[in-house]
Amino acid sequence: MPKVTETHKMLRRQAILTAAEEVFLGKGYQLATVDDIAVRSGLSVGALYRYFGSKSEILLTLMQERLGRTPELLERLTSDAGGPWEQISRCVDIFVLALRVRHPSTGRLLLVAWGEALQDRIVRDGLMLRFQGVVDYLRDVVERGIQSGEFRAEADAKVLASLLMCLADGVTLYWAANTPELELHPIRATVMAMVRSYLSPQES
């Protein structure tokens, strides 16, 4: 029997994840079965279980690979920013741009994950790890601004970072649901105005 190469294993794994995403978005997580995913991926159920131990493990992996890399992405795309103000502004711009150009399944996958998080602790913990990763990054940016004197000393970096993440996820969920009232440019301008009002040092 010929040896299965690492490249072949990687391609099979990605085929499973792509098939699972299509099945989850098409049928909903609760109605989707491992059999459905196997059929869509062109593999047997036994072959699928060699890569993933359960349906929730597949969803968790999808969350990590499709949704969980945001902190690293933000850090890489803002590493050459001129300072904390520009870093925050770029983060908001990246978020708006991602909604405009990213495949709509990303937001819909987040909808599926949030729905399942109420019932599945593993999925819930995965969402919380994603949330905490972005919050930690934004908190560090705000804390650097406080230390440099660009932001007011009384600002609560963790609370602001958490609020920005909640706003981002909220907009993403409504955007994924095609809510017609959402206009990204005014939202972007309003968020930045709120952040500037909160972080700007008070004049004496």
CATH at 44: 1.10.10.60
Rounded CA-CA distance 72/42 in Å is 33
- pLDDT by residue for the chain (204 residues), tens only, comes to 456 688 888 999 999 999 999 999 899 888 999 999 999 999 999 999 999 999 989 998 998 888 777 888 888 888 888 899 999 999 999 888 877 765 567 788 888 888 888 888 888 888 898 899 999 999 999 999 999 999 999 999 999 999 999 999 888 888 888 777 788 889 999 999 999 999 999 765
| Cβ neighbours, 10 Å, residue 189 | 12
In a domain, 204, yes or no: no
Q: Are residues 21 and 102 in the same domain?
A: no
Q: Which residues of 8-28 are buried (b: 16+ CB within 10 A; e: fewer)?
A: eeeebbebbbebbbbbbbeee
Q: Are residues 81 and 47 in the same domain?
A: no
CB 59 within 8 A of CB 116: yes
Rounded CA-CA distance 34/23 in Å is 10
Q: Are residues 41 and 81 in the same domain?
A: no
In a domain, 135, yes or no: yes
Q: Are residues 94 and 34 in the same domain?
A: no
In a domain, 58, yes or no: no
Rounded CA-CA distance 76/90 in Å is 11
pLDDT value at position 8?
A: 85
- Residue 13: which domain range? 6-53
Q: Are residues 38 and 121 in the same domain?
A: no
Rounded CA-CA distance 152/201 in Å is 4
Q: Are residues 130 and 85 in the same domain?
A: yes
Q: Are residues 151 and 93 in the same domain?
A: yes
Q: Are residues 152 and 86 in the same domain?
A: yes
Q: Are residues 117 and 152 in the same domain?
A: yes
pLDDT value at position 103?
A: 55
The residue type found at 144 is R
Q: Are residues 42 and 73 in the same domain?
A: no
In terms of pTM, does the model score above 0.75?
yes
pLDDT value at position 41?
A: 95
pLDDT value at position 1?
A: 47
- Count of domains in the chain? 2
Q: What are the helix and strand counts (H, E) for the chain?
A: 10, 0
